[in-house]
Amino acid sequence: TDEDPIISLTRPPLRSRRFDSAYRTNENSEMNELGETEDDDDQDGSYSDVTTVKVRSGDSVESGGSGYQKNPQEWFEQPVRMRTRMQSDSVQVSERRNQSPSSLNKQVAEQPQNEYFLKRKWFWLPVILVLIIFGFVYYSFIHRPEEETRAVQMFQDQMKQLRKKYQGQDEKLWERSLTFLQKHLNSSHPRPQPAILLLTAAQDAEEALKCLSEQIADAYSSFRSVRAIRIDGTGKAAQDSDVVKLEVDQELSSGFTNGQNAAVVHRFESLPAGSTLIFYKYCDHETAAFKDVALILTVLLEEKTLGTSLGLKEIEEKVRDFLKVKFTNSNTPSSYNHMDPDKLNGLWSRISHLVLPVQPENALQRGICL
């Protein structure tokens, strides 16, 4: 029997079930010839990785009388795809084999370790929350009341000493000032407004006015062991109103920011009229820049003496009328352009929380306080 010309030109690839089924035909002679060829090739003991066959376009492979035709290119595409898939599978297997047992053990060990740290994290979270709440409660209801109690006690002690030294003062001065400032020290935090105290005196009590205002302010801040801020209006009387306004603002703001909680403004009536508008910022009932502070203002009247028979309401009206003349009189240089009656009324409502008179002290020497 003549051999098929196509078969004589090709060396078939490795056999597989799929290729065997592709070569099966209804005639045994054709399969026998294919089998004999494959047996001969097996005896050769070597197969090439790539098989190349030149086939003219249009040629076909006939399998006996079955009428089955197959393009020769299809014979070689399937083995190539199969070899590629086998190579990729072998690479994956080799990668799994090359992975060391220690790395596998490390991956297994990391999982319970991460779970352990996660449990510890959730354990400490409620503990931290409890500590924060405890600190807030301690500071708000235990530590802060203790501080306020000590501050009030120290203020009371200082005021008692002053009361013994300045025996020429009316009892109303001590009672009202002590109650007013002590209430501010005892008020809740944050405090609703600053404590504004206005002390006034006639010409014969100028030294007593200066000493008492400073010492009362120092008594208020004695708990902090700091000296009250001191501003002297007489030294700024001839200066430009805007410059004085800026200087006063800087002195008060810097002092209060750095821990001082009391200030004395001597001779308030001597300040340029327009500069006093800065006290809107520090004496306002609701929007004051600093509310945990006390400001003591002094006003020295032009009268030689101040009668002890005058009531507090009369004293307050006397001081208001005096400031109105000083700040709004058109004959006063550079005052009218900066201050008007409406502005003065607004300022007065902020600085007249409590107006108290100071009487002269015979034991005082000029420039030396008791």
Residue 200's beta-bridge partner residues? 299, 357
Residue 31: its pLDDT value, please?
43
Type of residue found at 341? P
Q: Which two tokens stand for residue 253?
A: 């703001």
Strand ranges in the chain using DSSP code E only, listed in sequence order? 61-62, 69-70, 195-201, 229-232, 262-266, 294-300, 354-357
Q: What pTM value is reported for the model?
A: 0.62
Rounded Cα gap, residues 121 and 194, in angstroms: 46
Domains of the chain in sequence order = 5-92 (no CATH), 136-357 (3.40.50.12190)
Residue 340: its pLDDT value, please?
86
Find, among 184, 232, 188, the residue nearest to 210 by Cα. Answer: 232
| Cα dihedral 324, 326, 327, 329 sign | positive
Rounded Cα gap, residues 178 and 5, in angstroms: 129
Q: Pairing between strand 294-300 and 354-357?
A: unpaired
Residue 331: its pLDDT value, please?
58
Residue 179: its pLDDT value, please?
95
- The mean pLDDT values, 10 residues at a time, for the chain of 370 residues are 49 49 43 43 42 39 42 49 54 50 51 58 70 62 65 93 94 95 85 94 95 96 93 94 95 96 97 94 93 96 92 95 87 59 93 96 83
**Helices and strands counted in the chain (H then E):** 12, 7
Q: Within 10 A of 230 (CB to CB), how many other CB atoms are there?
A: 16
Residue 130: its pLDDT value, please?
73
- Rounded to 5°, angle at Cα 38 from 54 and 35: 115
Residue 162: its pLDDT value, please?
95
Residue 332: its pLDDT value, please?
52
Residue 129: its pLDDT value, please?
76
Residues belonging to the chain: 370
Q: Which two tokens stand for residue 115?
A: 């779970």
Find, among 308, 278, 294, 265, the residue nearest to 353 by Cα. Answer: 294
Q: Which two tokens stand for residue 62?
A: 């006939």
Residue 315's beta-bridge partner residues? none
Q: Within 10 A of 72 (CB to CB), how many other CB atoms are there?
A: 17
Three-state SS at 214? helix
Q: Within 10 A of 275 (CB to CB), how many other CB atoms are there?
A: 23
Q: Which residue is associated with the tokens 């405890």?
A: 134
Q: Pairing between strand 195-201 and 354-357?
A: parallel
Residue 49: its pLDDT value, please?
41
Residue 286: its pLDDT value, please?
87
Classify each residue of 146-156 as buried b or exposed e, where b means 16 or more C-beta atoms within 10 Å of its C-beta. eebeebbebbe
Residue 284: its pLDDT value, please?
92
Residue 76: its pLDDT value, please?
45
- Residue 15, exposed/middle/buried by CB under 10 A (0-12, 13-18, 19+)? middle
Rounded Cα gap, residues 329 and 150, in angstroms: 47
Asked whether 166 and 208 are in contact (CB, 8 A), the reply is yes
